[in-house]
Amino acid sequence: MKTTPLLLDDIGNVRERKNLYLKELFEAEAAGAQEEVRRIKAARSDHPYIVSLKEAQARETQFLLELKKKTDEFERTLASDDPLKKLKVDTFEAREKAAFYQPLRELSYDFELEDRINHFRLHQLPRIVADQESLRERIAVVEAELSRERSQDHGAYEQETVRFRTERKMRLSEEIDELKEKRKERLISDKAYTNEKKMAQLKTRDDILARENSHPVKLLEEELRNLRHRLKADKRLALKVLESDISDVRRKTPVETEQRFPWRSIVSIPFPGIGQFLNKQWQKGILFLLASLLIYLVAIPYALGYGNYQGSGISGLISLAEGGARLDRSIIFMVEGIIAIFLLVFAAALLLISFKDVYTTEKRKTQGIRPFTWFESRQTIEEKGFPYLVSLPALIVIVFIVLVPIMTTILISFTNMDPQHQSKFQWIGLANYKLIALGQGIAGSAFWLILGWTLIWTIGATTVAIAIGFFLSLLVNQERLKGKKFFRTVFLLPWAVPAFITIMFFSIMVSSTGPITQILKTLTGQIINIKNSSLLTRIFLIFLQGWLGSAYIFLLSTGVLQGIPSDLYEAAEIDGATSWQKTMRITVPLILFQTAPLLVGQYTFNFNNFSIIFLFNQGRRFNPTHYGNLAESTDIPISYIYKVTIQNQYQGIGAAITIVISIVLMFVAWLGYRNTKAFKEEKL
């Protein structure tokens, strides 16, 4: 780390060095005079400044020893139960230190800092002590007055309070009667009557409380509570202000050091906390020491297999229980190996954070900036680190309930986990992905047929839902329409009613004996069984999901429509725009700008809409010629994956299909979001 002849304090001020030895040394280095540098280093111990500094430091050591004895003697002169004992002792120490460091402040910045700190303490501590003593004296006086008042008879005052309460309530009754008369005579509205009545009741309550609280005993009790609160709060606030002032002095007072190489940060790399202790940041060092314990007692042992339920850490992730006991399961070895990886990632992050903290402190110190005290570190954490501290629990939860399952799914896709290899399975590389790409094996050509139908289903069902919802919102938004509340309630029912109820209802309605089937038979003279026809089932599913999804689109569009200023339509009408032009040039662009990201989400949702496909007829119609023994003609990837994995135990190929579909879906969703105007204008 580079060291310059000049110093910087924490607020960026350039300061001259007081350490004349370092000043000469760094000036020689800056000039490139290597011979002069060697001469200065060789004569270090005899340098006049170093000699003076060592003499001052020796006097300081002796002074501190003597001050300890003086402080103990002074402390013995104070009452043992004196609540201000520590403050008085601190004041005594500050007075002695200020007198000692005052003549030495020009010798070094350390002495100057001690002098300035103790002058601050000497200025503020006596005032804190005086304020505390004043409050305690006042508390004693109030307690005496309160004791005297409690012993006296206040019967007359209490009777007067009861009389006042009765009269005030009677007056309130009269005021309410007057308001009723005004409302009856139509001088005020019902709403004004309600507001005036409420205000009169509140005023009556306040008057009664004010009268009751003016009781001499209650007044003294309230004052006593306030004084006791001030006794704690004022002291805490005053000491915090003093700490803040001292922190400000430290920021403006540089430090001088001969250190060049960041050896503390290097030493602390394997053991977080050591560097902080070497920098005399004790509280921070304890926190990082806990991080060391987490690394060496939890993360690394777990990665090596200690503390695992069945697995053997990282090695178990590689072996997948191959050659293990009969009861060992590969999936447990895999999950525990993944957890071990994340624990090692956390450990590496803690090591990096610790190293960066120590290195930054050392680098700043070579520039002249003093290491943070615990007070300053805590302030920095509260101001800059608060978002990270709040996010940390969420990050940990996300790792174990989101990332671990995702990693498990990804890794399973590279294994042969199937009905014959449930307990123990092996790595097979890209074989599952090869089967999908070539349409072979258990995946067969069904995957590509299912994907083609899914694209039609996603585009068709979502587009129908958007069209219906948007049309209904435009219809209900017309000023000439009566009963808007009724229609809005009806159009929201598909969203309010649980979807599975609607799906099962229509599934029964179009069954071979269902009412819709019977109506179609009566009208056409033919039996039209929708559930036994792949084409009819697909068409019916698209329109059914269009109706179910329209309520959400209706709600979104209605909210946007109500927020469009009427001035826009009035201006367009003045310019001669037709209703169609106003709709296409004003309404549609504004609705799309507000709802486009949510509409993209609707396409993504329908791509994985498992419930309607599975509940309607569980993916029928069955067609083994094209779809094999697992898939069915109306399956979409999510229902196909369910049948492959849950019902038939082909987890390996199912995981591979999941990964492929997820990547495609994320890419398509990203394209959709990227092309929305709201995304381009950074409104998301």
Share of the chain above pLDDT 70, in %: 96
One DSSP character per residue, 499-523 reads HHHHHHHHHHHTSTTSHHHHHHHHH
Q: Which residues pair with 63 in a beta bridge?
A: none
Share of the chain above pLDDT 90, in %: 37
> Does the N-terminal peptide bond of residue 116 adopt cis geometry, omega within 30 degrees of 0?
no
Per-residue pLDDT, averaged over 282-293, amounts to 93
Per-residue pLDDT, averaged over 7-23, amounts to 85
Mean pLDDT of the chain: 86
Given a contact cutoff of 8 angstroms between Cβ atoms, the answer to whether 412 and 334 are in contact is: yes
Instruction: Average the pLDDT over each of 8-22, 181-195, 393-407, 666-680 and give the range with the smallest value.
Output: 666-680
The secondary structure of residue 382, as a DSSP letter, is I
Residue 30: both structure tokens together: 């800056």
Cα(447)–Cα(440) distance, integer angstroms: 10
Residue 147: both structure tokens together: 């004791």
Third-level CATH fold of 431-680: MetI-like fold (1.10.3720)
Per-residue pLDDT, averaged over 582-609, amounts to 80
Q: 54: exposed, middle or buried (C-beta count within 10 Å: 0-12, 13-18, 19+)?
A: exposed
Q: What angle is formed at CA 183 by the lines to CA 180 and CA 189, rounded to 5 degrees?
A: 135
pLDDT at 678 over 60: no
Cα(629)–Cα(446) distance, integer angstroms: 10
- The letter for the amino acid at 661 is I
DSSP SS3 for 445: coil
**pLDDT-based confidence at 681, cuts 50/70/90?**
low
Q: Report helix angle 190-213 to 216-252, nearest 10.
A: 90
In 458-577, beta strands by DSSP E = none
Given a contact cutoff of 8 angstroms between Cβ atoms, the answer to whether 73 and 18 are in contact is: no
pLDDT number for residue 108: 93
Q: Which range among 223-237, 319-333, 379-393 has the greatest average pLDDT?
A: 223-237
Q: What is the pLDDT of residues 526-552, one digit of tens each?
A: 778 788 788 888 898 999 999 888 888
pLDDT number for residue 111: 93
Residue 448: both structure tokens together: 């590509």
The secondary structure of residue 68, as a DSSP letter, is H
CA distances from 156 to 221, 302, 312 (A): 20, 78, 84
Q: 354: exposed, middle or buried (C-beta count within 10 Å: 0-12, 13-18, 19+)?
A: buried
Q: What is the pLDDT of residues 341-359, one digit of tens each?
A: 999 999 999 999 999 999 9
Count other Cβ atoms within 10 Å, centred on residue 111: 21
Q: What is the pLDDT of residues 631-655, one digit of tens each?
A: 778 888 888 888 888 888 889 999 9
Domain residue spans of the chain: 7-133+238-252, 155-214, 263-412, 431-680
pLDDT at 664 over 80: yes
Cα(17)–Cα(7) distance, integer angstroms: 7
Alpha carbons within 13 angstroms on the beta-carbon side of residue 624 total 1
pLDDT number for residue 1: 53
pLDDT number for residue 61: 94
- The letter for the amino acid at 287 is L
Cα(357)–Cα(361) distance, integer angstroms: 6
Q: How far is CA 348 from the centre of its chain?
A: 22
Residue 145: both structure tokens together: 């007055």
3-state helix, strand, coil in the chain (%, to 5): 75, 0, 25
Q: How many helices (H) and strands (E) does the chain have?
A: 31, 2
pLDDT at 583 over 80: no
Radius of gyration from C-alpha coordinates of the chain = 40
List CB contacts of 75: < 8 A, sequence separation 6 or more.
Answer: 85, 89
Instruction: Average the pLDDT over each of 80-89, 307-316, 589-598, 616-625 and give the range with the smallest value.
Output: 616-625
**pLDDT-based confidence at 684, cuts 50/70/90?**
very low
Count other Cβ atoms within 10 Å, centred on residue 373: 18
- Strand-pair category, 14-15 with 7-8: antiparallel
Which helix H or strand E contains 285, and what residues bound it?
helix 282-294
DSSP SS3 for 577: coil
pLDDT at 64 over 70: yes
Given a contact cutoff of 8 angstroms between Cβ atoms, the answer to whether 259 and 362 are in contact is: yes
pTM listed for this prediction: 0.78
